[in-house]
């Protein structure tokens, strides 16, 4: 949907970049899809993940890796949470990272006084505004909330550092209450206000509406925080940016309370589909896999098999009808380019769903020569065995070699049997793919 803009710009130029159907919607005139920022919260929200215990050395290792990746802000656990949390916060502030360091506190002067002494670049203040949290958590009314907010904000501002005010459970808060308090804190000069889907129940169009409404009330930036209980945390983040939010809270692998928040990697996938140039200019996405492995090891989880980008099968193509097109042009079935992430694609041809185009490609790799009809014939043999049991590459290669030998009446040259297990996928390396495709760069 970037067409109108690029057509306008292209008026004077001969060559035009093809339109990206997943690009920012030109109707969203407040959209920040192409200028979003990340508040990385693995060391705050992520610490609330069931398995997380980061010692000082691990926190520093993670903070440095996040900074190297290019995140805009790193958010740390409240220094009021424990003595070690406080000293770790100070230690990370002293690292001299490019990313700004934030800490996340309750809307309370006790916490604010400790926070401003740590050396952070900014303080993220949060208070529950829904009737649930007002009743069952802190028991305060909106007047009290507004008064505390003003006191804490002015105190933090007087120390010359950034301040964010966020509601908690924003989507179950009274809209008028919400807008009132956001307007109040905007007037006294917060850097940004935050919307939080604390229980993970919001849906994308609801997010769009609330952010658009808030955007008409405040002049400061809008930050959003989405939990993933109902699987919408990445989509909600994208929709918030479309509506005019600027900053998204993320964590590595989405770790956080319960099943977590918007994941850094998932949001990268989403944003690259919309504006690859912007994302690649800011973030070292080829380091995503190392970053995820670092955090996965630290909290003792496996990277989910279906993780965007880094799941083991994210670039594996299996169905026969897919393989043909992927071999001709990877963009037919890939919206992301694995090479951007230092990864490769796989054509999984050793199975009963395989097609003759995939097998023909394997025949070529084996440096054998078969006509298309011969490839179709050997494919039928492979599919027949694939119906009986799981195949591996050895199986397929044996069938192809035997078939080829029968045709040419030469003895089969078999590879040495080593007994080693061989993976059932083969990597199609970049040069091989390039040989076979015609228009790699067409989006």
Phi then psi dihedrals of residue 251, to 5 deg: -140, 160
Q: Which of 11, 13, 14, 83 is the binder for its own copies (CB under 8 A)?
A: 83
Please answer whether residues 364 and 400 qualify as being in contact, where contact means their C-beta atoms are separated by less than 8 angstroms: no
- Residue 42 binds its own copies (CB under 8 A): no
- Report how far residue 430's alpha carbon sits from residue 434's, in angstroms, rounded to the nearest whole number: 6
CB of 233 or CB of 368, closer to its own copies: 233
- Residue 136 binds its own copies (CB under 8 A): yes
Cα dihedral 38→43→48→54 (10° resolution): 160
- 225 is known as an active-site residue: no
Stretch 108-127 residues interacting with its own copies (CB under 8 A): none
CB of 116 or CB of 133, closer to its own copies: 133
- Report how far residue 317's alpha carbon sits from residue 329's, in angstroms, rounded to the nearest whole number: 13
CB of 348 to its own copies, least distance (A): 6
CB of 260 to its own copies, least distance (A): 5
# of chain residues touching its own copies (CB under 8 A) = 114
- Report how far residue 294's alpha carbon sits from residue 264's, in angstroms, rounded to the nearest whole number: 14
Residue 386 tokens, joined: 């694939």
CB of 203 or CB of 365, closer to its own copies: 203
Q: Which of 9, 82, 110, 342 is the binder for its own copies (CB under 8 A)?
A: 82
CB of 213 to its own copies, least distance (A): 10
CB of 408 to its own copies, least distance (A): 27
Quick one: CA dihedral 59, 65, 71, 72, positive or negative?
positive
- Residue 5 binds its own copies (CB under 8 A): no
Please answer whether residues 165 and 186 qualify as being in contact, where contact means their C-beta atoms are separated by less than 8 angstroms: no
- Residue 90 binds its own copies (CB under 8 A): no
x/- contact string, 167-186, with its own copies (CB under 8 A)?
Answer: --x-xxxxxx----------
Q: Which of 73, 315, 341, 349 is the binder for its own copies (CB under 8 A)?
A: 315
Stretch 382-421 residues interacting with its own copies (CB under 8 A): 383-384, 386-390
x/- contact string, 248-277, with its own copies (CB under 8 A)?
Answer: -----xxx-xxxx--x--xx-xx-xxx---
CB of 28 or CB of 72, closer to its own copies: 28
Residue 116 tokens, joined: 């401003």
End-to-end CA distance of the chain: 13
Stretch 328-387 residues interacting with its own copies (CB under 8 A): 328-329, 331-336, 346, 348, 351-353, 383-384, 386-387
Angle at 160 between CA 159 and CA 164, to 5 degrees: 95
Residues 6+ apart with CB under 8 A from 210: 170, 171, 175, 195
- Report how far residue 202's alpha carbon sits from residue 66's, in angstroms, rounded to the nearest whole number: 28
Please answer whether residues 302 and 247 qualify as being in contact, where contact means their C-beta atoms are separated by less than 8 angstroms: no
Stretch that binds its own copies, among 180-188, 303-311, 359-367, 393-401 (CB under 8 A): 303-311
Residue 160 tokens, joined: 């010359």
Q: What are the Cα distances from residue 65, in Å, to 6, 40, 58, 61?
A: 36, 11, 11, 6
The residues facing 227 across adjacent strands are: 261
Residue from 225, 322, 348, 404 carrying the catalytic annotation = 322
Please answer whether residues 200 and 258 qualify as being in contact, where contact means their C-beta atoms are separated by less than 8 angstroms: yes
- Residue 314 binds its own copies (CB under 8 A): yes
CB of 68 or CB of 334, closer to its own copies: 334
Stretch 139-168 residues interacting with its own copies (CB under 8 A): none
CB of 49 or CB of 69, closer to its own copies: 49
Q: Indicate which residues carry an active-site annotation.
A: 322
């Amino acid at each position: 949907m970037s067409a109108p803009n690029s057509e306008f710009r292209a008026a004077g130029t001969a060559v035009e970049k093809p339109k990206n159907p997943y690009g920012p919607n030109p109707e969203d005139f407040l959209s920040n899809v192409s200028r979003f920022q990340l508040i990385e919260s693995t060391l705050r929200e992520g610490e609330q993940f069931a398995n997380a215990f980061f010692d000082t050395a691990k926190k520093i290792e993670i903070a440095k890796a996040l900074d190297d990746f290019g995140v805009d802000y790193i958010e740390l656990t409240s220094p009021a949470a424990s003595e070690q949390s406080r000293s770790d916060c100070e230690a990370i502030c002293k690292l001299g990272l490019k990313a700004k360091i934030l800490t996340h506190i309750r809307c309370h002067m006790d916490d604010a006084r400790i926070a401003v002494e740590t050396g952070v670049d900014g303080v993220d203040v949060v208070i529950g505004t829904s009737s649930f949290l007002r009743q069952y958590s802190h028991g305060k009314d909106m007047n009290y909330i507004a008064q505390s907010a003003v006191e804490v904000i002015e105190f933090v501002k007087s120390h010359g550092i950034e301040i964010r005010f966020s509601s908690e459970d924003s989507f179950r808060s009274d809209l008028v209450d919400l807008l009132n308090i956001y307007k109040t804190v905007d007037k006294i000069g917060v850097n940004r206000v935050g919307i939080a889907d604390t229980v993970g129940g919001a849906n994308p169009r609801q997010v769009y509406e609330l952010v658009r409404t808030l955007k008409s009330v405040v002049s400061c930036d809008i930050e959003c925080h989405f939990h993933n209980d109902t699987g919408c945390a990445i989509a909600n983040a994208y929709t918030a940016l479309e509506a005019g939010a600027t900053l998204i809270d993320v964590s590595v692998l989405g770790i956080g309370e319960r099943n977590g928040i918007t994941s850094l990697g998932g949001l990268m996938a989403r944003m690259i589909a919309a504006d690859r140039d912007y994302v690649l200019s800011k973030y070292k996405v080829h380091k995503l896999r190392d970053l995820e492995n670092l955090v996965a090891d630290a909290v003792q989880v496996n990277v989910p098999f279906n993780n965007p980008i880094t799941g083991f099968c994210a670039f594996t193509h299996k169905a026969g009808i897919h393989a043909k097109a992927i071999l001709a042009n990877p963009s037919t079935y890939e919206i992301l380019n694995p090479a951007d992430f230092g990864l490769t694609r796989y054509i999984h041809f050793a199975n009963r769903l395989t097609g003759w185009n995939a097998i023909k490609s394997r025949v070529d790799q084996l440096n054998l020569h078969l006509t298309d009809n011969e490839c179709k014939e050997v494919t039928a043999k492979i599919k027949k065995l694939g119906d009986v049991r799981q195949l591996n590459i050895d199986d397929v290669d044996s069938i192809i070699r035997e078939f080829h030998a029968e045709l040419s009446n030469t003895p089969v040259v078999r590879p040495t049997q080593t007994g080693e297990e061989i993976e059932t996928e083969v990597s199609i390396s970049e040069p091989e793919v390039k040989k076979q495709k015609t228009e790699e760069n067409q989006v």
